[in-house]
Structure 1
Amino acid sequence: MQTVKKEYVEKRLNDLRKRMSENGIDFLIIWDPDNQYYLSGFRAISYSRPIILLVYPDKTQYIIPALEEDHARENAKVDDFFVYHEKYSNSYLDTTFHQPLERIIDKLAKDKVLGLELNTVPASLYKELQINGFNIKDISHELIEMRAIKDEEEIYWLDQAGFLSDIALDASFANLKVGMSELEFDSNGDRKLLEIASKKYPDNIVGYENWTCSGIKRSTMPHLYSSTRKFEKNDVVIHSRQVWINGYRAENERTFLIGKPHEEQKKCLQLAIEAQRIGMEAVKPGVKAKDVDIASFNAIKNAGYADFVQHRIGHGLGLTEHEEPYLRFDNEIVLKEGMVYTIEPGIYIPSVGGFRHSDTVIVTKDGCRSITKYPRELIDLLFDI
């Protein structure tokens, strides 16, 4: 199976260790699964059995449950493993992650500075480490900064995810008809996605999630699971799809109109498309995140629909479905080449419907490029069926 290449893991660890030194941090406990994958190349399916990555200036270690041992040893690029068990015949060995962790930290001088992701680590673990007398510093911001700028390998997989998402959208739209359920609509894209992924990317991990919100009421609440509701004549529909390959995600959403929509629905969809275009054009190195959001919002405000905006224009994307930094009106962060964002301004009018496209863009040296390319113009999304 495809895993993160060792040279990229080493480069990321070198960057992290430099940041540790600059912040006076002696060792790290990494809890967040996406951060662990980023720094080691290993990801489990479930984390109900806690997994901990330890990072020192000269080595890395994993604390893992026994059922993940073979998987971790095959994929994780670390120096040592500590295994805990939940089988009765191994009850004389470590049976929780606390036991190996306590031995590890007992060997460390209490004047050492410990780095934690305070935005994700459980309060119980934080309290335990405090009781042990460690000086704790937050490393969350450093990891956010690192992951915000994607390297060559990450961008490659993001491009592939974008390609697959376009394939899936195309297959769903090709089979669209009145009377089919939202779930049936999704399934056509799912089937084609899995078929193409299996042929084009052997021995890789591909996943997806999607939701379809049809009708005036459901489209104005666009974060709903797909349902058995059937498409009707003159429906407004938001179809949202995320595809990931080897962990890296593309988000691809389209609003479409079935039958003969009334003029305000077409006007609102066209406005959402225009606001998205303005947002995309605003994305470039040196621009503040807030200015992208404000530029798009002003386009909607100037058209008289400011009261029907509910959210920021976009979020960071990569290993996590929504990740920092965000494109919102109060974020002063300056965009840099290699950052990845969704651009997805939305308009939601209770009596008319919801209207939102989302595309995934990578910040380039002089602007941005979209890795999701499915047609987004109004004429492409009117289906008189």
Structure 2
Amino acid sequence: MTSSRFDSGVYAHRLRAAAAAAAEAGLSGLVITPGYDLRYLVGSRADTFERLTALVIPAVGEPTVVVPRMELASLKESAIVELALPVLDWVDGDDPYQLVASALAGDGAATVRFAVTDSMPALHLLPLAATLGTVPVLATDVLRTLRMIKDAAEIDALRNAGSAIDRVHARVPEFLVPGRTEAEVAADINDAIIAEGHTEAAFIIVGSGPHGADPHHGFSDRELQAGDIVVIDIGGPYEPGYNSDSTRTYSLGEPSPEVAHQYSVLQRAQQVAVDAVRPGVTAQQVDAAARDVLAEAGLAEFFVHRTGHGIGLSVHEEPYIVAGNDLPLTAGMAFSVEPGIYFPGQWGARIEDIVIVTEDGAESVNQRPHDLTVVSLPD
């Protein structure tokens, strides 16, 4: 069984890096409540309640966990115990915000400039700001580089997730039978996603015929028909919580020559974009690589979304592969490359791989063929 979190040494390194990043940003420290940042830093899947739970990471000193006494058991699933982090537990009637202030600034700090995770509820943000006498900034800017550049453990996790979703796509043709509804196909895919090792299906798109022209269609009661082009975009978390996300396009029977030609252009655009990925190239240059191929074929207006998004603990995170993003790529970044073409009322197609930036190029975690997969029709 795959572990629900990494070895504690991975989290110890991340905590040190977060403290160093806070110091470099001129902050007294970070206050991290439940959410993806807390999961990234200590492997905790704690939920946010009306009672405050927070990981306090001072720029100088030892991280501390502030937690309601009734929630102490939730720490056992994280790396907090193995890391032997100090825990300040509290009960109703205590002031948890004062505990955070003490852990963050000590008793003698005159000025505190701190950052909070973007998922902190106002229920906690406002009293914490009042206690410390200052409005915090977002920790996003401090943690974004750490979260964007995946470490070796994260890269392995993304590879495992990619292989699992590839196994699902290998089974998809058997589900695509004329007369079945998109919803029925989606139910089979959901079961396959779980069977292949995911903890759940985060999303399932079965866009058949004209529904394929809607990039975020989902699924419906429309029945599949012979001749349909079907977009299948699927993914979900794979322990320890890193997401898969892969799109392939299928044809129920042989496609028309026009569809085959336009799809071949899309296939070339996706490959050119993947080939453009390497350290130093900007996110917008990868977007342009795909877009230029489509533009040369007169298909630019039918590509209506960005080329990609980062992925990790969250399905969509930085970096975003989009025009205007001049962020240089760095080895360890992971994101989708997913150009698509969409003809309203007719059909659509998309090809999506998750790639990891290497020292000299890109590694795709998805290995399923990029061709338009022709599904044989029953006699």
Task: Place the TM-score, normalised by the shorter chain, in its bin.
Answer: 0.7 to 0.9
Which stretch has the larger CA shift, 260-269 or 28-37?
260-269
Of 337, 349, 357, which aligns to 1:343?
337
Q: Establish whether residue 291 from structure 1 lines up as the match of residue 285 from structure 2.
A: yes
Q: Could you say if the C-alpha distance between residues 252 and 263 of structure 1 is closer, same or farther in structure 2, counting changes exceeding 3 Å?
A: same
Contact 1:213 1:221 in 2 (8 A): no
What is the 5 A alignment of 1:318-337?
318-337=312-331
In structure 1, the residue matched to 2:183 is 183
Deviation at 1:209, TM superposition (A): 2.5
Q: Could you say if the C-alpha distance between residues 269 and 63 of structure 1 is closer, same or farther in structure 2, counting changes exceeding 3 Å?
A: farther
SS of aligned partner of 1:360: strand
In structure 2, the residue matched to 1:136 is 136
For residues 148 and 182 of structure 2, the distance between their equivalents in structure 1, rounded to whole angstroms, comes to 34
In structure 2, the residue matched to 1:231 is 224
SS of aligned partner of 2:224: coil
In structure 1, the residue matched to 2:11 is 9
Specify the code of the residue in structure 1 equivalent to 2:130: I
Specify the code of the residue in structure 2 equivalent to 1:158: L
In structure 1, the residue matched to 2:247 is 253
Contact 1:186 1:210 in 2 (8 A): no
CA offset digits 1:38-94 (Å, max 9, x no partner): 1111113x535564222123222334456643232342426234556xxxxxxxx42
In structure 2, the residue matched to 1:211 is 204
For residues 74 and 383 of structure 1, the distance between their equivalents in structure 2, rounded to whole angstroms, comes to 44
SS of aligned partner of 1:335: coil
In structure 2, the residue matched to 1:99 is 95
Which stretch has the larger CA shift, 160-169 or 343-352?
343-352
Q: Establish whether residue 311 from structure 1 lines up as the match of residue 305 from structure 2.
A: yes
For residues 368 and 70 of structure 2, the distance between their equivalents in structure 1, rounded to whole angstroms, comes to 41
Q: Establish whether residue 36 from structure 1 lines up as the match of residue 38 from structure 2.
A: yes
Contact 1:172 1:187 in 2 (8 A): no
Q: Could you say if the C-alpha distance between residues 70 and 130 of structure 1 is closer, same or farther in structure 2, counting changes exceeding 3 Å?
A: closer
For residues 292 and 268 of structure 1, the distance between their equivalents in structure 2, rounded to whole angstroms, comes to 21
Contact 2:194 2:201 in 1 (8 A): no
- TM-score between both structures, scaled by the size of structure 1: 0.86
CA offset digits 1:153-200 (Å, max 9, x no partner): 111111110111011111222343112222332343443443343xxx
Specify the code of the residue in structure 2 equivalent to 1:105: A
Q: Could you say if the C-alpha distance between residues 68 and 343 of structure 1 is closer, same or farther in structure 2, counting changes exceeding 3 Å?
A: farther
For residues 372 and 361 of structure 1, the distance between their equivalents in structure 2, rounded to whole angstroms, comes to 8
What is the 5 A alignment of 1:150-189?
150-189=150-189
Q: Report the number of matched residues.
A: 364
SS of aligned partner of 1:11: helix
SS of aligned partner of 2:201: strand
In structure 2, the residue matched to 1:54 is 56
Structure 2: stretches of 5+ with no match in the other structure: none
Structure 1: stretches of 5+ with no match in the other structure: 85-92, 198-204
In structure 1, the residue matched to 2:374 is 382
In structure 2, the residue matched to 1:87 is none
SS of aligned partner of 1:208: coil
In structure 2, the residue matched to 1:24 is 26
Contact 2:35 2:119 in 1 (8 A): no
For residues 362 and 110 of structure 2, the distance between their equivalents in structure 1, rounded to whole angstroms, comes to 47
CA offset digits 1:8-61 (Å, max 9, x no partner): 1111111111112222212211136111011111113x5355642221232223
SS of aligned partner of 1:20: helix
CA offset digits 1:281-311 (Å, max 9, x no partner): 1001111111000111111111111212211
* CA RMSD, 1 decimal: 2.4
- TM-score between both structures, scaled by the size of structure 2: 0.87
Specify the code of the residue in structure 2 equivalent to 1:240: D
